[in-house]
Structure 1
């Protein structure tokens, strides 16, 4: 899940959800793991401003501009850039940090040699990606990534959903779930959409379009294809910064 929330299910299906609230990206009971994301509105779109990953009793929270906290302690990681000696862990899983360039931070939580959870930031945009997800960890998972076979299932585990807005609302963090964030709107209050926040959307979008030509955005994202390229182009235009195309977000 990245950028202007572009969500991808386990089977690679992309959809957008612009609701502003706290959302369950994934709940994986077999790993005792949850990933919640907090979204924020800007003009006529929203973006992830913070992501929280919990495994067991430990919580890693990553926010805009690479800010982070481990178990509510700011900047508590032992940063060794790949050196396995003395690295901080999340319930025993090592956490590594990289900063490929000034505006881009990457935090990797390594579950197995070829399986990791990556939370990255580009300026104030936060992204979450799971690489090499194995059935032993995620086979029974639910959330905005859908079931492990990629079906957009409701919380009851059987109802198949197709409307992205309804699906996103379904996975708003409920009051009986761990509250990794504390902020309104809280369930049962519904997620807020950017268009509900005022009449500035067209003016805001027009200003964004002036910052960078679409052709320049397409050039910046030319190394991508299909829905990944579409998402990249949108994000370049939204941020007005072609450097986002250089990130590991896509």
Structure 2
């Protein structure tokens, strides 16, 4: 199980990103707050983060918050149950949230050679082009603030990982592998180098992912899933009581 310090740091991160003074409720609870500046979701959406069996939900205004509370009353702090109760015109997620305690880290084997590149190197943009918009968008390599840790084959970067510095000394991981190079452990090796770099700086590695393959890479490195994140664009015309 992840250490208490890891759980505390993860909760503190998302409480800060909520954009208003708030804390997670006790286990099993759902807390809904008004926060137009929430970092849990795009502007104007409703954001949901479930950690350790409790849920924090941000709404863009008071009316929406009231309707969300009514819709979620009596539900468990479960991301799928929450998603099912909210009428939506747009949804992002849910994505699993996993974190790594230093003593749980399982580094990948060293070979093949992992090279370090600047985060804005053109070779990374070429990798994104080869991977396609969906996978490149999921990885968000263009957002990293760390060096990029890469593997080359025949001179081309075929796998890369790095992280973006988030608040509360959190390292948000990004990992991408070219379609033709998948299934050979390259994501694990590049991610391992990025995680080692983050841990050396005293950062908390965070892995947010929807694809099962990505979640398996995180688990192989020692990450443990503590919860999930969901963003919902609510349907203003829903017949749900209080919405229309």
Instruction: Give the TM-score of the pair, scaled to structure 2.
Output: 0.27
Instruction: Give the TM-score of the pair, scaled to structure 1.
Output: 0.26
Task: Return the structure number with greater relative CO, CA threshold 8 A, min gap 6.
Answer: 2
